[in-house]
Amino acid sequence: MNFDTMKRYKVRRNFVILLLVTLLSVTSCSFTTKDFDEDSDKDKVLIELITHVIEQGHFDMKEIDDEFSEAVFKDYIQGLDPIKRHFLVSDFQDFEAFRTQIDDQIENKNLVFFNLTVEILTQRMEEAKGFYAELLEKPFNFQEQEMINTDYEKLEYASSTSELKKRWRQQFKFSTLSSFHDLKEEQVEKIKNGEEVDKKSDVELEKEAREITKESIENYFDAMSNLERKDWFNLYINSVVSQFDPHTNYFAPQDKDRFDISMSGKLEGIGARLQKERDNVKIVEVISGGPAWTNGELEVGDLIQKVKQEDEAEPVDIRGMRLDDAVDLIKGPKGTKVTLTVKKVDGSSQTINIIRDVVEIEETYAKSSTVIKNGKSYGIINLPKFYFDMQDYDERNAASDIKKELIRLNEIGAEGLVIDLRNNGGGSLSTVVDIAGFFIENGPVVQVRDAKNNTEVLKDTDADVIWDKPLVILVNELSASASEILAAAMQDYNRAVVIGSKQTYGKGTVQNVVDLNRWMRNSSFGDMGALKITTQKFYRINGGSTQLKGVESDVAVPDRYSYIDIGERDYENPMPWDKIAPADYKTWRGYSNLEKVIASSRDRLSDNAQIKLIDENAKWINAQRNQNSYSLNYANYDREMAEVKNMSEKFDKINNYKTDLTYSSLPYEESLMAQDSSLTQKRKRWHESLSKDVYVQEAINVLQDLNVDESSIKLAARKD
């Protein structure tokens, strides 16, 4: 197996801060003041400060009692030793004395439990450092019939050091088997391709694979030795605050910097967001326009295992490496090449070369394209996030950019529009309201309720309609927060047809980021960081919450995420779904055949061979991800990997799909492309992707079928 650096803030809750789980209100929270003993221990002050802020501002304040304590205990201990390779049963029994006492320790600013866990973990790590080398001295026997189960949550703690050693040995063997298999495959492939190869025996390859495992675990212990008490304390604090809801998080100063970067869209390196998941570095987002996006081979869910620099002979195994250190290896100067060894979401391995670049912020903004079908022009706008300048909303934001694109599409006579919100994780609440207003005369867009049940209806007050023609919105399971507000509003108004996953992400809460330093005057503690805290819930104008349920598509179609636990409902401690009174609104009466068009689209897609193949692939990916038992026998392992490879090749047909549609840039952008070859390349790649996209193809079909009855619109306006 690979090796974890230090902790797990549960899946999607690590040091990398994802925009996916954030809807930010541009209004500020108000909290009562409180004096803190700044001569006290910093950790104790931080506990008191965070508790105070949550008590004052959280939307759904929970009772900090024994039940709360047990939940913190479970998450924290699991985060310290997620794959149960350090703690013994006796250690866990010592910890259990505090299972229902953490609430009291929080109240009394007592750190006895935290100190005990760090002390014992440090001791167990030192012991493991003393015996891991001997476990890798002798060759592994891959002829034996042996299995490993990687469902660590159900695994009991080892009862003794000898049992723990057996567990480490088995994990080493699995890691070595994986590398041994890869080395054999690489050698066979090189010989097959006629390359000059210094052919190695199985004995030599096994030894090389063992060295890779040894290097990996040495990297792990090197990273662990660099950790400080504050690193562990951040885990403890987040185990506490996450009990209120999945999106309340403490940001240490470095984490807050990353969050600010994510909101601004300014990223460097390969253009991908990375997250630590156990001992793996996982791709959680490929940034539009970045090098990885341009390359096209990396995708969400891939695990980066090795990193090779162009001036180095051998790759560095980053499994078990601290995320910060892994990121440092992956990023680098513009124009240099990095080679990544990646485990794909389907279980296959792939080597990917990427030329590093600066990810231009322009490519995180909205962009548009046109397509001609049956003599009519249609537009598509891709919106990666609901971005805004945190210092000055009017400087540039998603709404102002969308407005420009709509005006340009009107100027060229586009007769229908697709807004692509797939993988859009949210952003600014204000931009959603502004964008919705471009498609309706005026009226409510979203309802926002606070902890005191005060409900505010956010409305479009501008009677101007920029786009009064057919509208389709594309979504998927990763369309969250602000994306769900826009899709829901357009659906409630009968203004758009929503096409995509059965339901969207299901995040119906609003967060504020609170600077904790505002309470500290002339403190010697330095930067105290920030707290992202859930302060409100938002609701559709029909009164229903998007929390947990998300937005159900009018035309539901499967995609590769359909059977994977990836939404709000898959978190621990999510807020419940509920409903409030609907706002006062009138549906749009422009379509004369809306229900018929939706029914026709469903019929078309139910018989679509590409959709059926995507659905089959999604089910297979889910089965692969749920596999916990693996053979440590080479013949069995090789057979399993061959099956994975065969299935991967079968589903490669998905990428070979081609529509009969050709996409083009708008005139203003074509003039820019004449002077910017980089922009030309980016748009060419996007247009090629669109031409292979069965979901966009269907969106254009729906636009073509929708009839807008202008007389009905005018009549409704007169009645209103």
DSSP bridge partners of 474: 420, 499
Residue 430 CA, distance from chain mean position: 23
702 in helix, strand or coil? helix
Count CA within 13 A, CB hemisphere, residue 139.
12
The more confident residue out of 312 and 3 is: 312
User: In this model, does residue 576 exceed pLDDT 60?
Assistant: yes
For position 222, what pLDDT does the model report? Answer: 79
Q: Is the dihedral of CA 316, 321, 327, 328 positive or negative?
A: negative
Task: Give the domain extent around 645.
Answer: 363-719
Res 17 pLDDT > 50:
no
- Distance from C-alpha of 601 to C-alpha of 628, rounded to nearest angstrom: 39
**Can you name the residues that pair with 379 across neighbouring β-strands?**
370, 417
User: What is the pLDDT averaged over residues 387-411?
Assistant: 87
Q: Using pLDDT thresholds of 50, 70 and 90, give the confidence band for residue 1.
A: very low
Give the whole-angstrom CA distance, residue 657 versus residue 373.
18
Q: What is the tens place of the pLDDT at every residue in 18-66?
A: 333 357 664 445 566 666 666 678 899 999 999 999 999 999 999 999 9
* Stated pTM of the model: 0.81
Same-domain status, 367 and 448: yes
330 and 466 in a single domain? The answer is: no
331 found inside a domain = yes
- Whether 599 shows a pLDDT value over 60: the answer reads yes
Confidence label for 390 from pLDDT (cuts 50, 70 and 90)? low
The fraction of the chain above a pLDDT of 90, given in percent, is 68
pLDDT at 411: 97
pLDDT tens per residue across span 210-235:
999 999 999 888 778 778 888 999 99
Tokens of 374: 């049956």
628 pLDDT above the threshold of 70:
yes
* Helix, strand, coil distribution of the chain in percent, nearest 5: 45, 20, 40
Q: 653 and 614 in one domain?
A: yes
Regarding whether 134 and 273 lie in a shared domain, the answer is no
* 146 assigned to some structural domain: yes
Predicted pLDDT of residue 253: 82
CA 296 – CA 100 distance, rounded (Å): 49
> Is the domain of 217 the same as that of 305?
no
Question: Stretch 359-378: mean pLDDT, rounded?
Answer: 87
| Selection from 571, 478, 585, 575 nearest residue 540 by Cα | 585
The verdict on residue 232 lying in a domain is yes
Query: Are 115 and 133 members of one domain?
Result: yes
- The continuous run of DSSP H or E covering 328 comes out as helix 323-330
Residue 29: predicted pLDDT? 57
Q: Do 541 and 667 share a domain, yes or no? A: yes
Q: What percent of the chain has pLDDT over 70?
A: 90
- Residue 55, in any domain of the structure: no
Q: Is residue 26 part of a domain?
A: no
Cβ neighbour number for residue 146 with a 10 Å cutoff: 17
Give pLDDT, residue 327: 86
How far is 555 from 502, CA to CA, in rounded Å? 8
> Which residues are paired to 273 by β-bridges?
285
Residue 316 DSSP SS3:
strand
- Work out the pLDDT band at 662, boundaries 50, 70, 90: very high
Torsion, CA 566, CA 478, CA 590, CA 694, rounded to 10: -100
The vertex-197 CA angle with 194 and 198, nearest 5°, equals 160
Structure confidence at residue 322 (pLDDT): 73
Give the end of a domain, one of 200, 221, 237: 237
Query: At 322, which amino acid appears?
Result: R
720 vs 716: CA distance, rounded Å: 6
Looking at residue 268, which CATH number applies to its domain? 2.30.42.10
Give the CA-trace dihedral at 243, 247, 498, 576, to 10 degrees.
30
Beta strands in 241-336 (DSSP E): 249-251, 267-269, 272-277, 280-286, 303-309, 316-317
Q: Check whether 510 has a pLDDT greater than 90.
A: yes
Residue 514: its H or E element: strand 509-515
pLDDT at 517: 87
340 and 475 fall within a common domain: no
268 and 212 within one domain: no
Band (pLDDT 50/70/90 cuts) for residue 407 is very high
With the CA atoms of 684, 686, 690 and 696 taken in that order, what torsion angle do they form, in degrees rounded to the nearest 10? -140
The answer to whether residue 496 is domain-embedded is yes
Whether 293 has a pLDDT exceeding 90, the answer reads no
> For residue 644, what is the domain's CATH number?
3.90.226.10
Last residue of a domain, one of 237, 255, 279: 237
325 and 373 in a single domain? The answer is: no
Asked if residue 449 belongs to a domain, the reply is yes
- Domain membership flag for residue 444: yes
* Of 39-43, 67-71, 264-268, 293-297, highest mean pLDDT: 67-71
pLDDT of residue 33: 61
DSSP single-letter state for residue 371: E
Residues in the chain: 720
Query: Which of 436, 422, 428, 424 shows the shortest CA–CA distance to 385?
Result: 424
Amino acid at 189: E
Q: How many independent structural domains does the chain possess? A: 3
Q: Tell me what the mean pLDDT of segment 572-590 comes to.
A: 94
Distance of CA 364 to the CA centre of its chain: 16
| Residue 716 reports pLDDT greater than 60 | no
Q: What is the mean pLDDT of the chain?
A: 89
CA distance 230 to 626: 34
Q: What is the pLDDT of residue 241?
A: 96
Q: Output the pLDDT for position 712.
A: 63
Tell me the average pLDDT across 506-532. 86
Please tell me whether residues 388 and 448 are part of one structural domain.
yes
Are 444 and 324 within one domain? Answer: no
User: Which of 359, 374, 407 marks a domain boundary?
Assistant: 359
CA distance 370 to 663: 6
Pairing state between β 455-460 and 443-450:
antiparallel
